[in-house]
Amino acid sequence: MLDNEILSEDAFYRNWWRYTYTKLHVRKSLFRQGRLREEVEATFQWLEVIADKYNFVPRFLKSDQNGYRGHLINLSNCLVYSFHKRTQTDEFFNKDFELLLETYDHPFEKLDSQEVDSVKVLYESTRRLGYLVVSLYSEQRFDIAWKAFVKKIIVAHNDILKTKIYSYPRYHRPSKAVQVSIASQETKIADNWDLVIFYHEGDKEFHIKEQMKRLWDDRSERKIIGDSQGYDFALYIDRTRCKRRHVLEVLRLQSIQFKGYSLVPVDTAKLAKTIRWLERTKRRANLKEKYGVADSNDETERFYFKVKRLDKLVSRLAVMINEYYETLNEITKVNEELPKSKQGLKQDNVRRAVGLFLWMKVNISKNVPRSVNSIADEIIDLLEEEYETTATRNGLFAGEFSSVLEYYNSQYDHFILKEGYELSEKDKPIDSKEGIPHAAFKDDRYLDDPKTRENIRRMIVEDYYLAELCINNADYRSPYEVRNTKKDELYSFTSVDRSL
């Protein structure tokens, strides 16, 4: 179970990463679209005009250009927040925005109708991104994630924690057909559901299935299965977009994940082998029918029906495999969207920082363009060098200082176990902590193994494409979405922009 501190920390970092990705998205757009840059500058000029007109910001503050722009951004927040409260009914409330309204004396109330129309334009762009465009235009140290999470520089980490981020409700993408809500965690559920299942540990799948069968076709009103008090998790279902079978699979897999059990996979290799055998048999039957190998019409007819039966069986097995993996992917996505453990949060921050660092090297560096793989190799060397330098500086044995590369391979700095040896939990740290190999280990460590390095490089490249996906969509996305994004959609944005 995750405590409130971890939930709060997870929410903060998600918002910070989303803000960072969105700033880079706007930075790319500004430089690729000269018109957008002009529009942002025009917005600042308009804010300055109304600030002077209504004396929202004292003129003497103009001597400090950066400070004055900060006041204009605050003014813009006041206007957009007030417009939202005036036009929307979602009860969005933010105490920081409320304080700004008091500080600047509720400026929206003083605008004329034409000025309100200008605020509406600013509001629409803000809702699309979740942040003010003019605030995203300001400078930011994009290497701060590398310094804070990879180099573990305390000052840089503190700067991240002190970041003031004003965020707005963002226009949402269409929600999933089955939404999962964990009772112990705050999960936003879209309002498009018409059936909810409240699951309690120990509930029988058969009973839920029978209730679903009875209620499924009755669309007269929203239906509820289970007790809303003391539930462990709930499924919110849009029956117009899925089948009962899909809901039951999500329920089954979610209950397995909730209990913390390992999911026992279907033996897809065996199924695939069966499909190949069936396909060969079907081809042989087709050949016999085509070339009249059969001795009689009756035998030819038997071959015909055999081919039809094989077709159905092949299709059924193929559907079984596809449905299994689709359901497994769905539940994997659900769980990756949930708050992480303390260790999982550290790993996520580190790997996102490495992926962003690589993205910056590829897309913003002024050097001669190089491949993502070659730069990923350099980053591995850099991380190894940083690891050795820090360990030496602090007078530590190699194994006493945790390397960033251990987030990619937990055995990274361990010696390789010899064949035929088994190791108990208490013996596992010996190989690296002593700095010399145990009798059960080879003289080589995993970091010296080319295969280990290749796997780490592949994972770092995956982190690059995660950063690419997040920046292109101006959003916080999960590794799951990189693995399931069509390649042409993902890679179409990877052209290098040297104008940055």
* pLDDT score of 224 more than 90: yes
Measured CA to CA, the distance from residue 436 to residue 65 in angstroms comes to: 59
Residue 112 pLDDT greater than 90, yes or no: yes
Mean pLDDT of the chain: 75
Nearest to 379 by CA among 66, 146, 168, 221: 146
Alpha carbons within 13 angstroms on the beta-carbon side of residue 42 total: 10
Structure tokens at 57: 């910001």
pLDDT at 299 (0 to 100): 56
Residue closest to 419 by CA, chosen among 438, 436, 437, 442? 442
Nearest to 226 by CA among 218, 235, 216: 235
For tokens 């964990």, the residue is 182
Over residues 224-228, the mean pLDDT reads: 92
Which of the four pLDDT bands, split at 50, 70 and 90, describes residue 346? confident
Query: Rounded to the nearest 5 degrees, what angle is found at the Cα of 160, between the Cα atoms of 358 and 10?
Result: 85
Phi, psi dihedrals of residue 174, rounded to the nearest 5°: -55, 135
CA distances from 340 to 5, 12, 145, 485 (A): 12, 12, 19, 22
Token pair 């060098």 is found at 385
Q: How far apart are CA 163 and CA 16, in angstroms?
A: 8
- pLDDT greater at residue 124 or residue 436: 124
At residue 261, the pLDDT reads 36
Residues 311-333, mean pLDDT to the nearest whole number: 57
Q: Which of 74-83, 424-433, 439-448, 490-499 reaches the highest mean pLDDT?
A: 74-83
What confidence tens digit (pLDDT) does each residue in 144-161 have? 999 999 888 888 888 888
Question: What one-character-per-residue DSSP string does 452-500 give?
Answer: HHHHHHHHHHHHHHHHHHHHHHTS---HHHHHTS-HHHHHTT----TT-
**Among the listed residues 460, 478, 456, 457, the one whose alpha carbon sits nearest the alpha carbon of residue 469:** 478
Question: Residue 3 has what pLDDT?
Answer: 41
The more confident residue out of 419 and 128 is 128
Six-digit token string for 368? 């001669």
Least confident segment among 227-236, 242-251, 277-286, 459-468: 277-286
Burial classification of residue 327, based on how many CB atoms lie within 10 Å of its CB (0-12 exposed, 13-18 middle, 19 or more buried): middle
Quickly tell me which residue has 């897999």 as its tokens. Answer: 253
> Average pLDDT of 357-365?
87
Joined together, the tokens standing for residue 161 give: 């924690």
The H or E element containing residue 417 is strand 415-417
Q: What is the mean pLDDT of residues 290-307?
A: 56
Residue 464's nearest CA partner among 382, 371, 402 is 371
Q: What pLDDT does 397 receive? A: 41
Calpha distance 308→386 (Å, rounded): 64
Which helix (H) or strand (E) segment holds residue 205: the answer is: helix 205-215
Those residues with Cβ within 8 angstroms of residue 97's Cβ, 6 or more apart along the chain or in another chain? 77, 78, 81, 166
Q: What is the pLDDT of residue 9?
A: 79
pLDDT(34) > 70 = no
Q: Indicate the pLDDT class of residue 266, thresholds 50, 70 and 90.
A: very low
d(CA 188, CA 197): 16
Q: Is the pLDDT of residue 327 over 80?
A: no
Q: How confident is the model over 366-383, as a mean pLDDT?
A: 83
Strand partners, 441: 417
For residue 51, with 0-12 CB atoms within 10 Å meaning exposed, 13-18 middle and 19 or more buried, which class applies?
buried
Helix (H) or strand (E) holding 445: strand 441-445
Residue 277: pLDDT band (50, 70, 90) is low
Place of tokens 């629409």: 124
d(CA 471, CA 40): 19
The answer to whether residue 140 scores a pLDDT higher than 90 is: no
Q: What is the pLDDT of residues 156-195, one digit of tens each?
A: 888 888 888 888 888 755 456 788 887 766 667 877 889 9
18 SS3 class: helix
Number of neighbouring beta carbons within 10 Å of residue 220: 6
How far apart are alpha carbons 131 and 22 in whole angstroms?
A: 8
Asked if 415 contacts 398 with a C-beta cutoff of 8 angstroms, the reply is no
Whether 467 shows a pLDDT value over 60: the answer reads yes
Q: What's the pLDDT tens digit per position in 49-73?
A: 999 999 998 888 888 887 898 899 9
Out of 12-26, 140-154, 404-418, 447-461, the most confident range is 12-26
| C-beta of residue 493 within 8 angstroms of C-beta of residue 32 | no
Say whether pLDDT at 464 is over 80: yes
Model pLDDT, residue 355: 95
Q: What is the pLDDT of residue 294?
A: 46
Q: Which residues of 351-388 are buried (b: 16+ CB within 10 A; e: fewer)?
A: bbbbbbbbbbbbbbeeeeeeebeebbbebbeebbebbe
Kindly indicate the confidence band of residue 39, based on its pLDDT and cuts at 50, 70 and 90.
Answer: confident
Instruction: Sort strands 441-445 and 223-225 into parallel, antiparallel or unpaired.
Output: unpaired
Predicted pLDDT of residue 389: 63
**110 CB contacts (<8 Å, ≥6 apart)?**
54
Token pair listed for 427: 């013996």
pLDDT value, residue 75: 95
Residue 229 has pLDDT above 80, yes or no: yes
Q: What is the pLDDT of residue 453?
A: 84
Supply the pLDDT for residue 2: 38
